[in-house]
Structure 1
Amino acid sequence: MRSHVCYVLGLFVMLELWGNVTQSPIGAYAPGDIVIGILGSVHSKVEDLKGRIRPEMFTCTDFDLIPFVQSLAAIHTIEVINDSGFLPGIQLGYVMCDPCIHTTKALHCVEHMLALNGSLPVLSDYSNSSFPVKAFLGERYSELSIPLAKLLSIYMIPQISCTSSASALSNKLRCPSFFRVIPSDIYQTQALAKLMTRFSWDWIGVVSLDDDYGRSALENFLLDAEKEHLCVAFQEVVPYLDHTYSRQRIKEVANRIRSSSARVVLLILQPELVEMLFEEMIKTNTNRTWVASDAWSKVRNIMKMKDINKVGDIFGFTFHTGNIPRFEDYLQNLTISPGVRNDFIREYKQIRFNCSSGQQSEHTSPSACSWTDPQEANDDYLLQAVDLTEAYSQRVAVYAIAHAIKKLLKCNDTGCSGETNFPPWKLVENLREMNFTLDNQTHFFNQFGDFENGYDLIMWKSNGSERFSDVVGKFLINKKEVEIYEHTISWSNNKVPISRCSAPCPPGTVKNISDVACCYTCTICSEGTYTNQWDQPTCHNCPNNTWSEKNSTECKPRIIRYLKWNEPYPITLMVADLIGVLLLLISFTIFLVYRSTTIIKKSDFNMSCLMMLGLLISFGSVIAFIGRPDIHLCRAQQIMYGLGFTFCVCCILIKSFRNFIAFMAFDRDRQHKLGKLYKPLVIIILFNGGQALICAFWLIFASPDVDTPSGQSMYINLLCTEGSIIGFGVMHAYIAFLAFICFLLAFKSRKVPHDFNETGIIIFSMLIHLFVWLCFIPIYITKNEQRPIVQASAILVSNYGIIFCHFIPKCYQVLCEKTENSWPAIRERLFAAIQGNVTKGVADPVKN
C-alpha cells in the first residue's frame, strides 16, 4: 500500500517540481520513491549557436540512435529492478534530459532537475539538503561530464558515466562525486601505445578533438608513446562544436594525412568527424591503418558508410561489453507505460514510422505508410542499427546505484527500513565502498571512482560492402600488456602494414638514433652483447655464464673453469692429500703401537694424536677446493682449514710452552709461576675457541660464497669469494700469530737438554708455515685466477711441514734407530732369545 501511495504522490510532486512539461527541457520521466536523473544526448546538434544572444530555449536536431538506445537501456534496467523486487517496497523513478552535446544545455538540464519549486536553492551548507534527484547517469562525452561533475560536487550528488573516459574526471579533488563504470583514458592511451609497439608501428599520425577529452587523451598518449619509443609524425587538432569550420578543417587534415609518410593514424574524434574524414579519404582512395579511440570504435553508422572498405584496416579499443537480458524484446515492443512520459520514444517512432514524405529520413521504415498511428508501430530496426552491447554499461551503472540504495536503506528480502528522502552525499559514501556482482562479474570502484576492467581490442572486418567489429585481443590493466589473438586478424593486404621512418635493423644490430627518435641507422653489437629481434634500441648484455662475438644474435654458454675432478692438477692435489692422510694414519698406528716407548712418551702421545686430528681436518679442506664451487664448499674450504690447523698449532703451542718451562729451570721461582699456567686442556679450548668465534662472526656477517662469473671472454673462472676480507685476514692472522708465538717460545728454549728438546722441529715447522703463507699473500691480493690452486697447495705444504717435522722423524726413530725400546733392539733381543732357547732352554728372553 505504501509503495502505491508513494508512487502516486511522487507523480504529483514531480509535476509540481518540474512545472509545465511542454516548457521544460525534461524529455522523459517516471515517478518513484527515489528518482534517478538520466543525461543522454539523444540529439547531436544545437541550432543557431553562433547567433545566440538571449538565454532562450535550445533547439536540438540530428536524432542519434546510439545515445537513444543507451538511455532506453537505463530505463529498461530501472523497470526490471522495480519488477524484480530488488528494493522491496521501493519504486525507482527517473527523469531524463537531453543536453544535445552542449555544455551549457547540460548545465541547464541539471539545474532544472535539481530545482525545488522552480528554483535551485543557494545555501552555504548542503549536508542536510534533499533534492528530487538522488543520482545522475551520464553524460556520454567527457566535455560535458567535466563541468557537470564540478557542479554536482557542490551538492555531492553522485554522477555515474558509462562512456566519459577523460583522465581529469579521476581527480577526486575536482570531481569528488563522479564515478564511471569504465577505466580512465590513462589506461586507454597505454593500450593504444602498446598496440602500436606490438605491430612495430613507431611512425604515426594523431588527429584529436579540441575539447577536454581530446586534449587529455592526446597528452596522455604522447607520454605513453614516448615510453614505448614511438614517434608522432604529425599532430592535427579539429575544433569542437563548430560544424561549419570542422568540415573545412577536416579537409586540411585529410591532405596532411595523404602527404605524410606515416601509414598508421590514431583518431581521437567524435563519430561525426570521423565520418567526415573517411569521406575525404574515400574520395581520393587513400588507404591507411586507422586506430580508433573508444568514442567511435563501434559506431555502426561509420561501419555502413559507402565504400568504407577502401579506407584500410581499422583497429580500436572498446570497453568490456555484454548482453542485457530481455533488452531486444523491449526494443522490439517499445511502449510508454501509463503515468510515464518519454518524448524521445515518440520522436523516434515519428521518425521511423511517419509516412509524410517531408519528414522522411535515412531511419524511416519502408513500411511506414502501412501504419495509421506511428506510436503504435514497432520493428527490429534498432537491433540492426545499433550495437546493443554498447549499452551494457548502462545496466551496470543503474545496478551500482541500486546496490548503493539497498545498502543505504538497509533493505532485506521483505522491505527497506531506511528513509527514502536521504541527502545524496550518503549515496556517494556507499558507492565508494560498493562491491557487487552482476551477471557473474564482480564490480567495484577504485579510489578514483573508476572501474579497472580493461578493454577489448577490436578489428573492423569486411562484411560485403560494410564492416563489422570483431574482438581480436584484449588489454588487461593489471598486466599492462596487449594480448592479441593472431589467428583472428585478417589484414587487407594479407600482411602487417609497415609504418616506420627508417628501415628495420636486423638481429645482431642496434638502432643508432638520430635527432628524431624513430629515424636511425643500424650499428653492429659489440662482443658480449647481442640482439635477437628486429629494431632493438640497445644491444642486450649477455646473461650470466654466456658470451657472444660481434654482430651476434645469441649468446653461447661460457666455458666455466674450476678444479674439475678429472683434470691433472686436481688429481695431483687429491693424490697429495691422500698421501698426507695415509702418512697420518701410518704415524698414528706407529704412535699407538709404540706409545709406551721413550720416544713416543717424550713426544706426548695424546698431544700428538690431537695434532694428527687437526691435520686430518685440514687435509679435508683441500678436497673442498675440487669440484664446482657452491656456498657450502666455499665455507668448508676456509673453516675446515682454519679450525683444523689452529687445533694442530695449539697442540704445538703447548709443546713449546712445556719446553719453555723446562728452559726456565735456572729460575725456579719463574718456572713455578709459569708451571701454574701449563694447563693443556684450557689452552686448547681457549685458543681454539678464539678461532671458532672469528669463524662464527665471519659466517654470520659476511660468509664466503661463490663469486659471480664475470669477464670479457668466453672463458671464466668460477671461484669462491672470501666474503669479508677482514674475516679472511683475521682467521689467517690468528693462525700466524699462534705460529709466531710457537716459534718465539721454541727459539727461547732451544738450549733445553737434547733428550727433552723438540724446539728445533717446532721452529722449522713454524717457519715453513709462515713462509708459505707469506708467499700466498701477493697472489691473493692480485686475485689471480690460480688463487684456489695456490691456497690448496699452501695448505698441503703447511700440513706436510708438520708431518715431516713432527711425526716422520719419530716414526723413523721408533722403527729404525737402535734404542732400548726401538724395533731394532726388540728384534735383536727376540733373535737372541730364540737362540738361547735352543741352546739353554730359556723361554722368555725379552724383558722390559
Structure 2
Amino acid sequence: MRLWTLTLFWTLAQVWTLLRITAAELDYDSNGQGMYLSGDHIIAGLFPLFKNNKHVGGQIALEPCNNVPDVIQAFTVFRGTPNKHGFHLMQALRFTVEQINNNSLLPGVRLGYQIYDICSIPASMLATLDLLEPQYRALFPPQGRGGGGGRGIQEGSREPLAVIGPDSSSKSFTPAALLGSYLVPQISYEASNELLSNKNLYPSFFRTIPSDKNQVTAMIELLVRFNWTWIALLGSDNDYGLHGMQFLTQRAPLYGICIAFQGIIPSVSATSATKMRQLVDGILATKVNTIVAFSSKSIFRGFVPYIIEKNVTNKVWIGTEDWSMAQLILSIPGVQTIGTVIGISVKQADLDGFEEFEKRDFEKSMQYNGSVDSPTVDLLSPLSHWIQESINWTTLLLF
C-alpha cells in the first residue's frame, strides 16, 4: 500500500507541476542555464557548474546559479561560485560526444547534447521538467494556443535520448521519479544512495558508481580487520549522509562494533557553529580514536575547521568516497593535523586526449569572450578566471 501511495504521489506531483509550467504559472526557461549542441539524438547532462547553498523554502523557484557569495561568520559560504569538479564533468561529456561524432562508431548518426547547470535541488528538478515538457505536450497538446509555445530543451531540438546525472543522491530522487514515469534512461555518475536501486519507484535509473550498501560493507570490513570496535559515527545532514549512517548503524552491532557517539553534521549556516563544536566535544568526551564520517565533501568541509580549532589530533578518520580524496578537503589549511584519514575510493582512469580538448576549448572560448557569436561564452565567462589554473587537473573519476 505504501508503494502505491508513493507512486500515486509522484504521478500527481509531476502532472500538477507540468500543467503549471505549460500554463506559464511556473516560469522556468533553460536559456542561459547551459550549453546546447544539435544532433540526431540528444543526450541531456545535469552538472553542478556553480555552487548555490541558498535555501528556498516552500517555493519552487530557480535563482540564477551565478549569484554573489554570502559570508557567514568566520567562514565563507560560496553561493554562486564556480564548481571546478562539475565543470570538468561537463567537459568530459562534451569530449565524449565529440569523440563519438568523429568516429565510425555510429555511422550516419550525430549525437548532440543539452547541458543544464544544477546548482541546487530546485534547479535539478526544474531542469528535469524542462526536458520532459516536449513529451508531456505530445501527450496533452495545449488547447486554444495553437499547439505551440513549448520551451522544452532548445527550439527545433529532439527529445532527450537519455539523461546523464545529477551529481548527488539528494538531487537525483525527484528527477529519477519523473524520468521513470516516461522510462527515460537516467545514468548518474555520483548518486550512491541505496534507495535509488528500487526499480518499482525508479525504473529507469542507473548509475556507474557502487551504491552505499557496498561502501558500508567495505567500512565494516576495515573496522573489523584492525579491531576498531569503539567508534564515533558522523553523518552529513543530507540524503547521502543520513541513509549511509542509518545503514551502518544497523550493520555495526552484527560485527561487534560499538558506536559510542553519533551525530549529524549540519550545513554551514549562521547558527551551525554551536552544533559543530558540540559534535567535536562529543567525540573528545567519549575518548574514541576512530571516527567514521559518512559525509558529503561540501558539508564535511565546513566541519573540518572546528576539528582543527579544538586541536583534535592523532585520530583515525574513516572517510567516504566523496570526501576522503577530495581536493576540497585536502586544500583546507591545517587539515593534516587531524590525524590519519583512511577512505573508500573508486577506481580512477585517464581519458586520452581530454587535457588537449580542455585546453583547446578554453582557448576557443577566450577568443570569443564578450562576443554574442559564441555559443559557450555565457557559460564559460564566469569560469574563465580559474579554468586556466585548473586546466592540468584532468583526471576524472570513472566508475
TM above 0.5, yes or no, is: yes
Quote the offset at 1:27 in angstroms: 1.1
Q: 2:123 is matched with which residue?
A: 105
Q: 1:455-513: per-residue Cα shift (whole Å, max 9, x none)?
A: xxxxxxxxxxxxxxxxxxxxxxxxxxxxxxxxxxxxxxxxxxxxxxxxxxxxxxxxxxx
Amino acid at match of 1:105: A
Structure 2 residue corresponding to 1:187, chosen from 214, 233, 254: 214
What's the TM-score once normalised by structure 1's chain length? 0.37
1:27/1:248 CA distance change after superposition, 3 Å:
farther
Indicate yes or no: 2:191 matched with 1:164.
yes
Normalised to the residue count of structure 2, the TM-score between the two structures is 0.77
CA distance in 2, matches of 1:383, 1:155: 40
Whole-angstrom CA distance in 1 between matches of 2:34 and 2:90? 11
Instruction: Quote the Cα distance in structure 2 between the aligned partners of 1:186 and 1:217.
Output: 8
What's the secondary structure of 2:43's corresponding residue?
strand
Unaligned runs of 5+ in 2: 1-27, 67-79, 141-156, 366-372
Match of 1:208 in 2: 235
Structure 1 unpaired stretches of 5+: 1-20, 124-129, 353-377, 394-848
For 2:355, the equivalent position in structure 1 comes to 328
Cα contact 1:194–1:228 (8 A) shared by 2: no
Paired residue for 1:263? 289
Note the C-alpha offset of 1:182. Answer: 1.6
2:13 is aligned to none
The equivalent of 1:818 in structure 2 is none
Alignment deviations for residues 299-331 of structure 1 (CA, whole Å, 9 cap, x no partner): 112112212211100011111221111112222
Shift of 1:217: 1.0
Alignment of 1:826-841 (within 5 A): none
State the number of aligned residues: 335
Instruction: Classify the secondary structure of the residue corresponding to 1:142.
Output: coil
Task: Tell me which structure has the larger Cα radius of gyration.
Answer: 1
* Aligned equivalent of 1:94, options 95, 99, 113: 113
**Corresponding position: 1:133 with 2:160:** yes
Letter in 2 for 1:388: T
| 1:211-240 deviation per Cα after TM superposition (whole angstroms, max 9, x unaligned) | 322222112212331222111111111346
SS in 2 for 1:243: coil
CA distance in 2, matches of 1:48, 1:142: 17
The counterpart of 1:79, out of the listed 98, 118, 124, is 98
Q: Give the conservation status (yes or no) of the 8 Å contact 1:36–1:135.
A: yes
Q: What residue number does 2:3 align with?
A: none
Contact 1:25 1:109 in 2 (8 A): no
Would you say the 8 A contact 1:250–1:273 is kept in 2? no
Kept in 2, the 8 Å contact 1:27–1:342? The answer is: no
| Equivalence for 2:153 | none
1:286 is displaced (CA, Å) by 0.7
Q: Using a 3 Å threshold, how does the CA distance of structure 1 residues 110 and 259 change in structure 2: closer, same or farther?
A: same
Question: Would the aligned equivalents of 1:161 and 1:181 in 2 still touch at CA under 8 Å?
Answer: yes
CA distance in 2, matches of 1:236, 1:324: 39
Q: Which of 335, 340, 343 is matched with 1:313 structurally?
A: 340
Residue pair 1:111, 1:120 contacting (<8 A) in 2 also: no
Report the counterpart of residue 254 of structure 1 in structure 2: 280
Ranked by relative contact order (alpha carbons within 8 Å, sequence separation 6 or more), the top structure is 2
Matched, 1:150 2:177: yes
| 1:3-82 matches, cutoff 5 A | 24=31, 26-47=33-54, 49=56, 55=61, 57-60=63-66, 61-82=80-101
How much does 1:152 deviate?
0.6
> Aligned-pair distance for 1:345?
2.5
Distance in 2 (alpha carbons) for counterparts of 1:25 and 1:303: 33
Q: Which residue of 1 aligns with 2:391?
A: 382
The percent identity for this pair of structures is: 24
**What does the per-residue CA deviation read over 1:415-471, in whole Å, with 9 as the maximum and x for residues that have no partner?**
xxxxxxxxxxxxxxxxxxxxxxxxxxxxxxxxxxxxxxxxxxxxxxxxxxxxxxxxx
Task: Report the residue type matching 1:297 in the other structure.
Answer: S
Secondary structure at 1:313 match in 2: strand
Provide Cα deviations, 1:262-297, integer angstroms capped at 9, x if missing partner: 111111222222222211111222112111111212
**Residue 84 of structure 1 aligns to a residue in which SS?**
coil
User: SS of the residue aligned with 2:192?
Assistant: coil
Give the aligned partner of residue 176 of structure 1.
Answer: 203
CA 1:108–1:194 in structure 2 vs 1: closer, same or farther (change >3 Å)?
A: same
For the Cα contact (< 8 Å) 1:46–1:59, is it kept in 2? no
CA distance in 1, matches of 2:297, 2:61: 29
Change beyond 3 A, Cα 1:303–1:55: closer
**1:83 alignment partner AA:** N
- 1:347 maps to amino acid: P
Aligned residue in 1 for 2:368: none
1:146 CA drift (Å)? 1.5
Equivalent position amino acid for 1:67 in 2: G
Cα separation, partners in 2 of 1:59 and 1:43, compared to 1, 3 Å: closer
Return structure 1 stretches of 4+ with deviation > 6 angstroms: none
Partners of 1:314 and 1:145 in 2: CA distance: 28
The residue matched to 2:292 in structure 1 has which SS?
A: strand
What is the 5 A alignment of 1:709-788? none
Greater CA deviation, 248-257 or 338-347? 338-347
Q: CA deviation at 1:261?
A: 1.3
Q: CA deviation at 1:81?
A: 1.0
Contact 1:30 1:341 in 2 (8 A): no
Q: Deviations over 1:566-594 (max 9, x none)?
A: xxxxxxxxxxxxxxxxxxxxxxxxxxxxx
Deviation digits for residues 623-682 of structure 1, max 9, x if unmatched? xxxxxxxxxxxxxxxxxxxxxxxxxxxxxxxxxxxxxxxxxxxxxxxxxxxxxxxxxxxx
- 2:102 is paired with a residue whose SS is helix
The amino acid of 1:33's aligned partner reads D
Pair 1:273–1:253, CA change in 2 (3 A): same
- Greater helix proportion: 1
* d(CA) in 2 for partners of 1:305, 1:46: 19
Superposed CA offset, 1:744-801 (max 9, x none): xxxxxxxxxxxxxxxxxxxxxxxxxxxxxxxxxxxxxxxxxxxxxxxxxxxxxxxxxx
**Residues 1:278 and 2:309 aligned together:** no
CA–CA distance in 2 between the matches of 1:23 and 1:216?
32
Measure, in 2, the Cα distance between the counterparts of 1:186 and 1:42. Answer: 28
* Structure 1 residue 67: Cα displacement: 1.4
In 1: Cα distance, 2:292 partner to 2:60 partner: 39
Secondary structure in 2 matching 1:88: coil
CA 1:168/1:79 → structure 2, altered by over 3 Å: closer, same or farther?
Answer: same
Instruction: Give me the CA root mean square deviation.
Output: 2.7
Output the CA distance in 2 between the equivalents of 1:64 and 1:56. 18
Which of residues 368, 376, 380 is equivalent to 1:345?
380
CA distance 1:54–1:179, shift in 2 (3 Å)? closer
Q: Is the 8 A contact 2:321 2:343 kept in 1?
A: yes
> Which amino acid in 1 is paired with 2:382?
E
One-letter identity of the residue aligned with 2:31: S
CA–CA distance in 1 between the matches of 2:395 and 2:99?
17
Matches for 1:621-636 after TM superposition, within 5 Å: none
